[in-house]
Amino acid sequence: MAIFKGAGVAIVTPMYDNGEVNYDKLGELLEEQIAGGTDAIIICGTTGESSTLTHEEHLDVIRYAINKVAKRIPVIAGTGSNCTETAIYLSQEAEKAGADGLLLVTPYYNKATQKGLKAHYTKIAESVSLPIILYNVPSRTGCNLLPETVAYLVKNVENIVGVKEASGNISQVAKLMSLTDGKIDLYSGNDDQIVPIMSLGGLGVISVLSNVAPRQAHEIASSYLAGDVKKSCELQLQAIEMVDALFCEVNPIPVKTALNLMGKEVGPLRGPLCEMEDANVQRLEKAMKNYGIL
């Protein structure tokens, strides 16, 4: 049984002006996401600025989200690291806190060989009992999780059940599904590729767009799952300008800016991320107005 089907939000981490985590605002966002039809919460992923949270903050945010959501929808904790032992520690603590699953990004900066990735993921998976979704985003990590490696892990490690594919390479995704005989929970990691990836057997998306348009992201995936491919495709194409604007600077700069433009008051970004260029803010505002969310 898949952890979720549909659109899961890779939710931002709201901050006060002094840079501290704003838990009250996080609670508001979680409630809005659930009310908007979001199918799962992905907490402390890239969009949640996990790379600049201390380990204590990281785990506190995970615990807060789990307690706030209270099993209404699944909560998947981002617990990946470029250090295997750190990933084990975060994963075990997230399991203790009651997470429904884990999202494990490939090791960044130090990268790894495919042999190293097999060992890294196997060791983490063996330390917990939760279902695990691998996260392949080579544009950010410099490390590509190859289809053969994913197939090996899914076939040999019981609780590695899925993959968030953000390589942008549809041919690679097709090969992955072929090598696994489709027996893997596949999620798009790119909001502009929800329909293409679902056409290859994907179950939905782990979405940045959902932060600002939860109902729309949900409907792209749910329409496809319901068999209305035409509607799903129409909704996907309607979202392209908005998605492009959300990635005109490095994520999560634009999405946090968009939420602030909507009056959500999610606060600043932590360094080295910075405020958007004025020209890109104007582009973002235009896309939001065209998409009907501003």
Q: How far is CA 127 from CA 9, 110, 165, 204, in A?
A: 26, 22, 24, 27
Cα gap 44→166, rounded to integer Å: 17
2 and 201 Cβ atoms separated by less than 8 Å: no
Tokens 């939710």, residue located:
11
| CA-to-CA separations, 240 to 194, 206, 225, 288, in angstroms, rounded | 11, 16, 20, 11
Nearest-angstrom CA–CA distance, 6 and 76: 14
User: Which residues, other chains included, contact 2 with Cβ-Cβ below 8 Å and sequence gap of 6+?
Assistant: 161, 162, 185, 203
Lookup: tokens for 235? 């909704």
Q: In the chain, what are the helix, strand and coil shares in percent, each to the nearest 5?
A: 50, 15, 35
* Helices and strands (H and E) in the chain: how many: 13, 8
Counting Cα atoms < 13 Å in the Cβ hemisphere of 58 gives 24
CA distances from 20 to 27, 43, 262, 266, 267 (A): 15, 17, 21, 11, 10
Just list the catalytic residues: 135, 164
